[in-house]
């Protein structure tokens, strides 16, 4: 199934064990040797500008000045100092900062009095590998903060859309930007799942053609991949559903988002439907493998049984003549050896003809 780096349960346990005994909301001195790279944009229907020196304090100033919609994007997980500044500048709860610093949590939605926090996981295909990286989104009035720990910046398409004055992204508020970010995350999962589907199909065709020991390893890898897909996509569907139901219950989630979130929820349903289909296929791969192995073993045992059956009468004849007792027919006849060998050959060929007629050997392809 190819070389992949997937999230493991051991990683999750390590992240929790490192916080053992600490008070909730405590930040650790980890999360990057160098500060995360920031990008700061502010846009209105008329203009879209990118700040030359982005920072958390500058983003807070723009929000206070009501300078349109402000988007602060972080490439990489901020270190402890940056997270503390983030919390101070925007009033982010310590538990949210702890979740941002933590690695590989499942997708979830948390609503606070002054902001909404979304956490999801981004699936992408990079150099024959499927990467799973956490993606954090904070929504405040007129402000969106997105934090992506992966090296690949999936938000680039949104920058191109913001340059178009006629784009819907420029015309709408910060809530629509949150939807656009979630839509990017969901769209990234489609090629990853499609690639996995193709690899499963190739493995299935290989199983039906020939059986070898490497296939059992590929099947087990496919099962582990399915677990990871399920851990990423199922919470994502629940998060989008909760976000849709939260419209109207939180002042930052306005009703104009409902049609777009409904469409996004439909996309997550498509992903889960594909995942369910692949789960059924992968579950059947082991049955196919065992059936092919059993059939191959049956063919081998049938051939060996036929060979043994043919040699039973031949062994009987050679055993009689091997006693060298006077009175055995043809024992002292000049052509006795040739006659006995010819008789044994006729017996062997007759048995082969009978087995072939019954369809036990030399079967044609496609014939039972």
Q: What is the pLDDT of residue 268?
A: 95
Sign of CA dihedral 167, 172, 173, 177: negative
Any long-range contacts for 113-116 (C-beta under 8 Å, 24+ apart)? 114/140, 114/141, 115/90, 115/91, 115/139, 115/140, 115/252, 116/178, 116/246, 116/250, 116/252, 116/253
- Higher pLDDT: 113 or 328? It is 113
Q: Which helix (H) or strand (E) holds 72?
A: strand 69-75
At residue 110, φ and ψ (nearest 5 deg) are -130, 130
Q: Quick check: 354 pLDDT over 80?
A: yes
Q: Quick check: 7 pLDDT over 90?
A: no
Domain 296-357 has CATH 2.40.50.100: no
Q: Quick check: 368 pLDDT over 70?
A: no
Give pLDDT tens digits for 128-159: 667 788 899 999 999 999 998 876 788 889 99
- Higher pLDDT: 10 or 346? It is 346
Residue 40 and residue 46 in contact, taking contact as beta carbons nearer than 8 Å: no
Q: Quick check: 127 pLDDT over 80?
A: no
Q: What is the pLDDT of residue 139?
A: 95
Residues 3-20 have a mean pLDDT of: 52
Q: What is the pLDDT of residue 334?
A: 81
Residues 320-331 have a mean pLDDT of: 78
Indicate the DSSP class of residue 330.
T
Q: What is the mean pLDDT of the chain?
A: 84
C-alpha triplet 177, 42, 123: angle, nearest 5°: 40
Residues 88-109 have a mean pLDDT of: 86
Residues 62-70 have a mean pLDDT of: 87
Give pLDDT tens digits for 17-41: 666 767 776 777 764 455 688 999 9
Q: What is the pLDDT of residue 105?
A: 72
Where are the chain's structural domains? 9-290, 296-357
Q: What is the pLDDT of residue 21?
A: 64
Q: Quick check: 109 pLDDT over 90?
A: yes
**334 three-state secondary structure:** coil
Percent over 70 (pLDDT), the chain: 88
Q: Quick check: 16 pLDDT over 80?
A: no
Q: Which of 130-134, 215-219, 312-316 is the least confident region?
A: 130-134
Q: What is the pLDDT of residue 242?
A: 93
Query: Can you tell me the distance from the alpha carbon of 196 to that of 130, in angstroms, rounded to the nearest whole number?
Result: 9
Which residues 6+ apart lie within 8 Å of 40 measured at CB? Answer: 50, 51, 54, 55, 58, 59, 62, 70, 71, 72, 73
pLDDT category, 104, cuts 50, 70, 90? low
Tokens of 28: 């650790």
CATH class for the region spanning 9-290: alpha beta
Q: Quick check: 363 pLDDT over 90?
A: no
- Higher pLDDT: 67 or 168? It is 168
Residues 334-363 have a mean pLDDT of: 85
Which residues 6+ apart lie within 8 Å of 177 measured at CB? Answer: 69, 71, 144, 158, 169
């Amino acid at each position: 199934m190819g070389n992949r780096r997937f999230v493991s349960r051991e990683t999750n346990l390590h992240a929790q064990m490192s916080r053992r005994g600490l008070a909730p909301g405590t930040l650790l001195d980890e999360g990057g040797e160098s500060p995360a790279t920031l990008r700061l944009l502010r846009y209105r229907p008329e203009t879209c500008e990118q700040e030359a020196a982005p920072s958390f304090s500058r983003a807070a100033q723009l929000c206070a000045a009501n300078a349109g919609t402000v988007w602060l994007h972080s490439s990489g997980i901020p270190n402890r100092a940056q997270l503390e500044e983030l919390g101070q500048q925007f009033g982010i709860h310590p538990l949210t900062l702890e979740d941002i610093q933590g690695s590989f949590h499942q997708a979830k939605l948390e609503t606070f009095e002054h902001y909404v926090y979304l956490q999801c996981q981004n699936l992408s295909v990079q150099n024959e590998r499927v990467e799973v990286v956490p993606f954090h989104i904070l929504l405040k009035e007129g402000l969106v903060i997105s934090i992506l720990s992966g090296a690949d910046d999936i938000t680039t398409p949104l920058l191109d859309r913001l340059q178009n004055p006629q784009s819907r992204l420029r015309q709408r508020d910060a809530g629509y930007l949150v939807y656009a970010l979630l839509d990017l995350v969901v769209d990234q999962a489609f090629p990853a799942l499609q690639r996995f589907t193709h690899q499963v199909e190739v493995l299935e065709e290989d199983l039906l053609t020939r059986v070898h020991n490497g296939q059992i390893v590929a099947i087990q890898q496919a099962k582990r991949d399915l677990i990871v897909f399920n851990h990423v996509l199922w919470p994502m569907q629940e998060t989008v559903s909760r976000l849709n139901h939260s419209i109207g219950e939180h002042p930052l989630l306005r009703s104009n988002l409902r049609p777009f979130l409904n469409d996004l929820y439909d996309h997550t349903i498509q992903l889960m439907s594909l995942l369910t289909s692949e789960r059924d296929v992968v579950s059947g791969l082991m049955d196919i493998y065992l059936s092919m192995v059993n059939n191959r073993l049956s063919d081998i045992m049938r051939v060996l049984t036929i060979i043994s059956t043919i040699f039973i009468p031949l062994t009987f004849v050679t055993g009689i003549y091997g006693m060298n007792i006077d009175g055995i027919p043809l024992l002292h006849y000049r052509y006795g050896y040739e006659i006995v060998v010819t008789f044994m050959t006729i017996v062997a060929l007759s048995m082969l003809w009978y087995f072939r007629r019954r369809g036990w050997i030399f079967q044609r392809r496609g014939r039972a």
